[in-house]
Structure formats: structure tokens, C-alpha cells
Structure 1
Amino acid sequence: MANLLVISSAPATLLDGKPFLDAKFVEGMRFYSDLWDGPVSCLLKRRDNTFPFGKSYEQDQLPFKIRLLPVNKTIGVEEINESDVILCGGDNHEHLHLADIYREAQKKLVFTIEQHPETRRQIIFLDPVRSLPKKLYSQLWAMKQERRRRRAFRKADGIQANGYPALSVYRPMNANTMMYLDNRVGENLLATENEMKARENRLMSGGPLRLVHSGRLEHLKGSHDLVPIARLLVSKGVDFTLDIFGTGSLEDEIRKDIAKHGLQQCVRLNGAVDFETELVPFARENADVYLSCHRQSDPSCTYIESMGCGLAVVGYDNRMWAALCRESGAGWSGPLGHVEALADALASVAKNRQEVAKACRAARTFAGNHSFENEFHRRIDHLKALL
């Protein structure tokens, strides 16, 4: 039996001697353990403090082994010598040197990748805290790491690219490259047929177009565009509601703007809620369209997760949503940063409920084909093929 080692940048620490791990990461590792024909272990850098969405685990609760390395420890041959196949996060520059040592250790190495140069550049230059000289320095450093990354990817046995942009950028580096769409929507969380029919019946009978938005309320996520879009919809006479879920540095500003512009009847700020037990049921039963103001081209799992709830999507045409929109037929897009374009798109679909219902169906079908389980099966099959 082959040994699989997952090297990840997921947060991890010890709490009262027990591993304190990100809950989403643990669920993913459970799937590796269930589907892999052999022992599974993971290697993580240890943090000093706990973090949101983490949980303490007894080692015997976990079907995989855990090794936590000190932050200043470099991963070497000793850390990988008991593994046969290594799945390693390629977004982290601290992992790229493994491409130079894994063949000597007679291992198989596959990198995962999510971000690409455009997204890294956006993250740097959209940061409101860094000065321009610091942004320029960060960009030069990122370019240097990108050269290392491409060299490492050419040496590896394969690449697993999360999302269309990463696939298009890194597939030329390695012939054995596959794409997956990371998300948390398993088969049990997908919108049911009864819920889909209930939404369609409601859309056809009239009433407000029910919009929903979720995520961190930050400039980087475009959250400052939510209230301006709502104001434009009001000015266009669109009957709608907008439920906003999440917290962040813009939360107070958004709350004040809702009150300032008299939007309390149609825009609601709901704070942070549990994804599986609160957000997903709300989206499945009380929403029609997911409103995305995301300007970055990273493969935000929010798209697929919202589509899995049976929601059409209206968003900026960053490289991820533009490609996903074309592939799925699950919504509409507008030019980056043009709030008027998104408001116009919403005003148009509000008048054509049949098109909204059609996009909702397409969204549910596409997300079902790319459910959490389906994506993990494909990723494991890709790794097994190396053996």
C-alpha cells in the first residue's frame, strides 16, 4: 500500500496538547483517508495561537496522522521519507524546494495551485494599508517566487489547479495538470427538487427578487459596492431584498450607509452565521440570486457553493467568474468595478423571471456535477494514476 503525504498551509497548532485544526481542512483530509488505498498523513506548520473555525481533536478521532513542524523548520528529506506520493500546496513558496529533493528520495510529487500572478498582484495593490514603495517591493518579491514556482511545477509529476485561471496559467508548465473546483457543498447540502420548484413557483408569481451576499466585508472582496448597487436598484424601481452575511472592517460603514440611504426595508445585514446549518438553508429557501462584487480572479468557492443552493449568480467578470459563467450558464456578468452594470443586469433579470429560473436550474446542475465528493474523487484518481 502506498503512503500519501499531504503538505498544506492550513492553520494548525496545539491546544492542551491536542491538535487544533481548521474544521474544513479536517473534512477534506477525511476524504483522502476514505478514498486512498493506504495510510494518509499530513504535514503542517505549527502556529502560536488558535484561529477562527478551528477545533480540538483527539488523535484517535482522526483517520490520518498529523505532524506539526516549528515555523522556522524547513521541510527536508526526513519529513517525506516515509511517503510514496506527496500532495503539496504550491501557493506557499516555502514548499517549492521540494521539487529539487523528491526525485532523489524516489517519491511522486503533485503540487496544488489556486492563485496566479494576476491575483497575487491584485492582493498586493488592493491592500489599503501598504504604501506604494512597499507594494512595489512586494510585487518584485512575488515575481521572484513565481519564477521558482514555474521551475518547480515543470519538475513535478503533476499539478492540481483550483479554478479556470490557475489551469490556464499553469497547464503549459506540466502536461499532467487537472482542474478542480474547491467547495464545501456535499451531496447532502445541494438544493432539493422541492426547493427548486418552490423557488420557480415563487419567481413566476412575482414578489421581490431575493438577493443574497456572503463573505468577508472587505474592500478586497468588493463589499463597498453592495450599498451603491442597492441604491441603483431602488432608483430603477426594482422590487428586491438583499441579505448580507458576514463580518469585516466594512461592517459598520455598510450598516451606517443602509440607514443613511433609508434602505432598511430592503437591505439586511445579518452578521456571520454557520455555513452548513444557517447560511445554506437560508440560501436554498429564501434567495434567488447571489450577488458577487468580487474583483479578484481567484477561485472563490462561494460561486459553486451558491450555485449548489440553486442560486443564479450576478457578478463582475473577473477571470474566474467569466469562465465559470460561460461554462455553467448559471448567471450574468458585468465589467469589473462597474456597479451600474451589475445593477442593470439585476434590473433586467428582475423583469424576466423565466430566465432567472433557467439560470437557477443550470447552477444547481453544474454544482451537482462538481460537488465536494465528486471533486475529491477526481483528485484522488489523479494521484492514484501516478502509481
Structure 2
Amino acid sequence: MPLQRRAMPEAPTPRASTAPAWRLVVLSSLPAIRSIEGHWLLPAKFVTGMKQYVERWNGPVVVGLQAGHEPSGDLDNRHWLPIELPFEVQIVDFRELAGNGGPLLQRSILLVTLNHVLYGLGQRCREQGGILVANTELTLTTQLQIARSVRGWGPSLLKTGLWLLLNHRRALAEIRSAHGLQCNGTPTFEAFARHNPAPLLYFDNRVTSVLCATPEEIEARFEALSSRRQRLRLMYSGRLHPIKGVHHLVPLARRLRDRNIDFELRIAGDGPLRAALEAQIAQHGLHEQVRLLGTLDFHDQLMPMLRREIDLFVCPHLQGDPSCTYLETLCAGVPIVGYANEAWRGLQRLCSAGRVCALGRLETLADEIEALSNDLSALKALAMSAREFAVQHLFELEFERRIVHLQRLCEAAELRT
């Protein structure tokens, strides 16, 4: 189901919550870890997200977790008293639930990220009075790209690839069985929407209206650029990991310097490639052009910097996961120059807020940056397009669309009974 900008699927119009009192069950991949004192170990970001469901859902909200012992890698993990959580937490055997069902399915709508241990859950829901809504983020192509970046070429990659191919067939069957489908980003919407009767496209992000750039901030950035009071300010933010193409950033900076482009590149984030980046910057004498900023606070540091101090975002992602980075950058009124992975290629067709370059081709990335550095009116037009698109997809709007989608599925189930 290819997407064109003028044919973007219409999300349900946000409205006050009128859903019947169905129970909302969110099955999460987080491990269920509880202290002797009865405290749940959960990431603060996850709890904040679940509170959004509680505030908008007219009925009880339950989080289902599989029993675990090893904490997730989330940096904001903390212990929560059950009384601090406005939702119920249950330990759930996912395989047992998908195989045999149980009371958790009765008059419940389940929001579930596709997982091989949950295949069969759609059928159990149909048998036992539940509603299944599958959530998707990664296409088969992106999964294979991630596997290749992590494992490299060899027998291990072949084995993983075969498993992913077989898993893909089972995932499609589960999508067909589900009552609804929520797709984070264009890649899985294009791949899966035709297999489900009630698909929804959304763009996950953390930007509320107060964080969005103003036209005046964009004007100020370009006034500084056009008067040559500022060099072209580039930025990358995210994990410093091979799957994000971060190892292309310093070679890109070398090419831009060789072309005598007056620029600076700020790199925000942390990860396994940080030491290598530091060494490369020193080796090639790029301290004047490239700065490593470490991890920035999203609300107080990253978004203000993007809005006021960055002219162009460099996105060398080699695979198409629907990173929040795209929408959050556009919300700051910052255009993106990035590789043609599935996520950016599909989003750029809708928003016209940047440039798409051949996957893995550093020279084309440098070409686009050089061209925009010499055409500030084009760069400013991209920035305005970025903001125009993003304000239609702020966090509160996207979340409300998802809630309305769930409401309507519950209302349709009421009509069938």
C-alpha cells in the first residue's frame, strides 16, 4: 500500500473518551521483576507512557509482563510501590496465554507488539471474547538489516535470516487474525495494512506542543546563517551504535572539510562507538568541526538546542526502524538529510522536509549537504515544511488517534454482540 503525500491515511478524529468499559491490556516485553518488599522494577519512561493510557481510557488498565530476573537495559529503571502505579501489573505466561487463553482475555482489548511467543493470541481472543490489536515497528527488511549489522556475514547470519523468514510468515498470519493493527511509521503500514481490516498509521514521538519550534525561531536561525554570523550547524543524536550508521559520521566530516564547507557537527548520545569516534576525531584533526556532547536531557537540552542552534540533521541510519528521532527533529523545524532506509524514505515522501540519499553512499550525503549549504532559501523551505508536518503529529495528537482507534474497535465489538 504505497503512500503519497496527498493520500496520507486519515487518522480518526480525536474526541472525548466514550469507550465502553472494556479492560485495556498492554502486553510488554519488559521483564516482571518484583522486590521482596513488593516493589515493581520498571523504567520511568514506560510508567509515564502507561499513565497516558490510564488518563484517556474509560476502564481498567492492566500491564502484562513475563516473569524475569535480569533487569532491562533502560537507564531510568526504578522501583515502584504498587500504590504509585495507576494501573495493575500482572505476571503473564505469554505462551500459555496464546495457547489456551484465560480470564485476562474476557472483555479485554489487548495491545501487543508482535512476538513469536504470542502467535495464536488472535484466535484465542476471538474464542474467548477479547480483541487483539497488533502493534508493528519493523519490517522483514529492517530485521534482516539489523541482524547483518550485529552479526556480520557468516553462518550465524544465515541461521538468523532463515528464522526471520519463517517468523515473518507466522507474523502475517497473526496480523490477519488480529481485529486491529497499529503501525509505527510508514514501512510496516505499507507492508502490513492490507492484511488487516482496521489498520492505523502513527508516528511515535515525545514532542508536545510546548517543545515544538516556532516560526520565529526558524527565522532567527536562518537570519544568522544568511548573514554568515554562523557556520552551517549539523547534528546527529541517538545511540552511538553500528546499526545507526554512526561510523559514517567522521568520514562524512572529513569529506565536508575537504570541500571547504564551513560547518560544525555535533554528535549527541552514547554507546559502544563513542571511544572509536573520539579516536577518529583526534586522528584526523577534526576538533574544530566535530564535537561529542554525550547524552543530553531531551526536554531541557536536546530539544532547545535543535530548535535554536541546529540547521540540518544528519541521519546515517542504515536500517529502517521507526526511530522517534525523525519526528522529534522535524518538530524542531530542522530538515533531515539521511540515507534511504525504509523509515526515512517513506516519511520524506509525506513531509518533503529533507533529502534522501542512496543507502550507505557517503558521497551523496556530502553532495546534498553541500548543495543545501549553497542554497539557504531551499534549506529554509525544508525547515518550514518540517514544522508544518510535525505539528500535525505531536505526541498528544498521535496518542489520541491511537486511543480513538481502540475505542472504535470496542464499539464495533459491542455492535456484534
Instruction: Please confirm whether the aligned pair reaches a TM-score higher than 0.5, indicating the same fold.
Output: yes
What is the CA distance between 1:329 and its match in structure 2?
A: 1.3
CA contact (8 A) 1:240 1:266 kept: yes
TM-score (norm 2): 0.88
Residue 13 in structure 1 maps to residue 33 in structure 2: yes
Letter paired with 2:24? L
The whole-number CA distance in structure 1 between the counterparts of 2:299 and 2:68 is 27
Distance 2:32 2:324 in 1: 21
Which has the larger displacement, 49-58 or 31-40? 49-58
Structure 2 equivalent of residue 84 of structure 1: 108
Q: Distance in 2 between matches of 1:263 and 1:39?
A: 55
Q: Structure 1: which 5+ residue stretches go unaligned?
A: none
- Residue 133 of structure 1 corresponds to 155
1:178 aligned residue (197, 200, 211):
200
Q: Is the 8 A contact 1:10 1:25 kept in 2?
A: no
Q: What is residue 179 of structure 2 aligned with on the other side?
A: 157
37, 49, 61: which one aligns with 2:58: 37
SS in structure 2 at match of 1:126: helix
Q: Let me know the Cα RMSD of the aligned residues.
A: 1.8
- Equivalent residue, structure 2, for 1:302: 325
Amino acid at match of 1:190: C
Matched, 1:119 2:111: no
Contact 2:185 2:203 in 1 (8 A): yes
Please state if 1:384 is matched with 2:407.
yes
Which whole-Å CA distance do the structure 2 matches of 1:293 and 1:381 have between them? Answer: 35
Contact 2:137–2:188 under 8 Å retained in 1: yes
Q: CA 1:56–1:196 in 2, change beyond 3 Å: closer, same or farther? A: farther
**How far did residue 204 of structure 1 move?**
2.3
1:105-138 deviations in whole A, cap 9, x for unaligned? 111111001111101111112224x661111111
Which has the higher mean CA deviation after the structures are superposed, 15-24 or 204-213? 15-24
Q: How many residues align?
A: 385
For residue 73 of structure 1, report the CA deviation from its aligned partner: 6.5
Identity, % of aligned positions? 36
Q: How far has the Cα of 1:273 moved from its partner?
A: 2.1
| Counterpart residue number, 1:324 | 347
1:2 to 10, 13, 22: 22
The amino acid across from 2:161 in the alignment is Q
Q: Which shifted more, 8-17 or 328-337?
A: 8-17
> What amino acid sits opposite 2:246 in the alignment?
S
8 Å contact kept, 2:244–2:318: yes
* One-letter amino acid of the counterpart of residue 396, structure 2: E
Residues 291-325 of structure 1 deviation map (CA, whole Å, 9 limit, x = unaligned): 10001022111111111112110000112111211
2:267 corresponds to 1:244: yes
Q: How far off is 1:63 after superposition?
A: 2.2
- Aligned position for 1:336: 359
- Separation in 1 of the partners of 2:303 and 2:67? 31
**Secondary structure in 2 matching 1:199:** helix
What is the deviation of 1:194? 3.5
TM-score, structure 1 normalization: 0.94
Gaps of 5+ in 2: 1-20, 412-417
How far 1:162 sits from its partner (Å)? 0.8
Aligned to 1:375: 398
The answer for the alignment partner of 1:355 in structure 2 is 378
State the shift of 1:84 in Å: 2.1
Please give the alpha-carbon distance, in whole angstroms, between the structure 1 residues aligned to 2:280 and 2:353: 30
Q: How far apart in 2 are the matches of 1:248 and 1:300?
A: 16
Cα deviations by residue, 1:169-211 (Å, 9 ceiling, x for unpaired): 1012112111111111122221234422322322322221101
Once the two structures are TM-superposed, the CA of residue 148 in structure 1 deviates from its matched residue by 1.2
Whether the 8 Å CA contact 1:5–1:83 is kept in 2: the answer is no
CA distance in 1, matches of 2:357, 2:394: 26
Which residue is equivalent to 2:15? none
Distance 1:171 1:149 in 2: 13
Q: Deviations over 1:6-45 (max 9, x none)?
A: 1122455335531222233222212211111111111122
Match of 1:221 in 2: 244
1:202 is matched with 224
Shift of 1:74: 5.3
> Match for residue 259 of structure 1?
282
Corresponding position: 1:270 with 2:290: no
Q: Distance in 1 between matches of 2:262 and 2:32?
A: 46
C-alpha distance in 2 between matches for 1:83 and 1:274: 40
Q: Which amino acid aligns with 1:284?
A: R
- SS of corresponding position for 2:400: helix
* d(CA) in 2 for partners of 1:46, 1:289: 44
Give the number of the structure with larger relative contact order, counting CA–CA contacts within 8 Å between residues 6 or more apart.
2
